[in-house]
Chain A
């Protein structure tokens, strides 16, 4: 069974999340405080973390950063505020997606399933984008012979762009393709993750050549050279 770690200081909500996720077929690890997350995380190695941004003790953002230091596991944030700066901060700290309370439980489950989905390897097993080689079977990317660690979401994002080198993806298109949103969603998700991805794979983040911005439209795969 897939193990999901739920980090929330509200015990009732955490328990309720546990019930919903259990009935959706997941195993759940409930954590009530940010301080315990890292030790439990390394011990249980969950496949996804559901993280409340507002936590006593170590804040959700710090927890997020700590997890990212040791793992590329998908992280979905839970937030009571969707307008605040906190969402962007959370995404920058390494969260893949976020949900605003009060959310629909079935939507939460759907979101979690998208994040756990393994990208299929029915397509060419090896893709190239710029100087970067993507191995879809081994789920690794290699630049100049070196392996670069990517989160699953970052990997999916890069694959989506690399699969159709000529196409310019609008942010909405990427939200649907990578995040699985059917309706219009927060385009900041795309912006933040493209930035994070660039920081890992671009030679020069200021002048990106792998993921190129098309002004007013979105992003496309670059050629890897200026």
Chain B
């Protein structure tokens, strides 16, 4: 039934056909019932008239016979009564009938000696209402009812009764019961015929309405299908324009909409391409002067011993800022490459453990950083782009050192069925749930006033996320103020394999998971 509701809501065709069928069923039922009643009434009326006149002559004859016993002593009353009751057998009847004779209950002179009926009819099944009519009015009365035989079978019949006097003066009621077997069969047949034609009619109406509405709905379905394809990115799809009717107008305006949409999109694409191009060009153009500046600073730096302390320190600052500027340019280029979707994965079978250890060795600036390793003994092999994974790890480790406040940093590597996960957990300043929303934003800083120990570019996590996404991997973060942060990178063991599970959960098990975890898969 749930399914029915779904189809009802989702398909106009179904709804219209169902409504049409329901209404036609209602209409046909009414018309059919009226027809049925009228036909069966007509058939019965004739039978009733026939039966009444037949019963009149029979009962008149019976009364005559009974009266004759008064003058003809040779006629015995019980013989006459038997004859009357046997009427069904003796008379050549066109329809089967029964006879019943009952002593009138209102008379105290009746001894009921002649009560009886033909063919095993139970005289108690003569309706009481009819008997009252017969007794009170005395004339021929009739009713349609059914008659009960003593063997239990019941047959529809017309029961016609009148009062009769059995000499010398006993009031009796004489009933002729005309069985309606044949008429019943005919009426049944007509009923079945009506039902069958009604069914056929309903089916036909359903089929016709289905066909007609489908015909009318076809362009709408077509439009829906093409709209879906447009949504899926196939911007060149158009509706077929045939004829000059309302649907043609639909097709024409639909196509016009598609054209304008395509133009808008290509305009925007063009614009964003231009912008990406601009970012890329700017970064490249900056490189040549930066090269000159860098070389100049190195040349100046070479004669640092001859400078006074302030100048020497200035040169140092100059050099470190040039390095930072370079890093910024490199990151900007990387970002513009991601934006232009020009990044490609250059995969290679890599031991993740070795790679992570190498990154730590590179990042370690002093022995004060305490790294705790929780890594498997065996190499953890994965086919990844080592340059990108290294970049992610360097970033996460640098972040952990920057924000770890010199406390321990835990590195965990775990292998799953089809994926490898690396987590970097620090116990430093952490971040709030509000900050977590911007963690992967470009140039976003958790606390603008916080010192930049390493002079990061502000693009690190954004690029890391793009790198993870390029691997079809996940980069998730958890953090709580004062309790530290946890970053988990999960990548498939080989490109194209979907990640089945996450070997390391991002929210640490011994921490309340009130801080929402974030992982932007829709970005990039």
When the two chains form the complex, which single residue of B288, B295, B333 contacts A105, counting CB atoms closer than 8 Å? B295
Residue B497, interface by CB 8 Å: no
B290 touches A101 (CB 8 A): yes
When the two chains form the complex, which single residue of B294, B333, B337, B387 contacts A102, counting CB atoms closer than 8 Å? B294
| Chain B stretch 295-347: residues in CB contact (< 8 A) with chain A | 295-296, 298-299, 302, 322, 326, 329, 333, 337, 342
| Chain A stretch 92-111: residues in CB contact (< 8 A) with chain B | 101-106
Which residues from chain A contact B342 at a C-beta distance below 8 Å? Answer: 83
Minimal Cβ-Cβ distance residue in A for B333: A83
**Cβ of A107 to closest chain B Cβ, rounded Å:** 11
A10 touches B288 (CB 8 A): yes
| Known A83-B337, A105-B298, A106-B298; contact A16-B284, beta-carbon cutoff 8 A | no
- Residue among B293, B295, B337 having the largest count of chain A Cβ atoms under 10 Å: B295
B292 touches A16 (CB 8 A): yes
B298 touches A101 (CB 8 A): no
**Cβ of B218 to closest chain A Cβ, rounded Å:** 50
B interface residue count range (under 10 / 10 to 19 / 20 to 34 / 35 or more): 20 to 34
B291 touches A101 (CB 8 A): yes
Number of interface residues of A (CB under 8 A): 18
| Known A81-B284, A83-B337, A102-B326; contact A16-B295, beta-carbon cutoff 8 A | yes
Which residues from chain A contact B333 at a C-beta distance below 8 Å? Answer: 83
| Chain B stretch 277-293: residues in CB contact (< 8 A) with chain A | 284-285, 287-293
**Cβ of A4 to closest chain B Cβ, rounded Å:** 15
CB within 8 Å: A-B pair count: 53
| Chain B stretch 457-472: residues in CB contact (< 8 A) with chain A | none
C-alpha gap A108/B289 in the complex (Å): 16
Which residues from chain A contact B299 at a C-beta distance below 8 Å? Answer: 16, 19-20, 23, 105
| Chain A stretch 56-96: residues in CB contact (< 8 A) with chain B | 80-81, 83
Which residues from chain B contact A20 at a C-beta distance below 8 Å? Answer: 295, 298-299
**Cβ of A17 to closest chain B Cβ, rounded Å:** 7
Minimal Cβ-Cβ distance residue in A for B390: A184
Which residues from chain B contact A17 at a C-beta distance below 8 Å? Answer: 295
Residue A206, interface by CB 8 Å: no
C-alpha gap A102/B296 in the complex (Å): 12
Which residues from chain B contact A16 at a C-beta distance below 8 Å? Answer: 291-292, 295-296, 299
B296 touches A101 (CB 8 A): no
B287 touches A102 (CB 8 A): yes
Which residues from chain B contact A10 at a C-beta distance below 8 Å? Answer: 288-289, 292
Which residues from chain A contact B296 at a C-beta distance below 8 Å? Answer: 16
Minimal Cβ-Cβ distance residue in B for A8: B288
Which residues from chain A contact B285 at a C-beta distance below 8 Å? Answer: 80
Residue A13, interface by CB 8 Å: yes
- Residue among B289, B291, B295, B329 having the largest count of chain A Cβ atoms under 10 Å: B291
When the two chains form the complex, which single residue of B284, B298, B386 contacts A80, counting CB atoms closer than 8 Å? B284
Contact with B along A163-202 (1 / 0, CB 8 A): 0000000000000000000001000000000000000000
* CB-defined A-B contacts under 8 Å, sample of 17: A10-B288, A10-B292, A12-B292, A13-B292, A16-B296, A16-B299, A17-B295, A20-B295, A20-B299, A80-B284, A102-B291, A102-B293, A102-B294, A102-B322, A103-B294, A106-B298, A184-B386
Closest 8 CB pairs of A and B: A102-B291, A101-B287, A80-B284, A102-B290, A101-B291, A80-B287, A13-B292, A16-B295
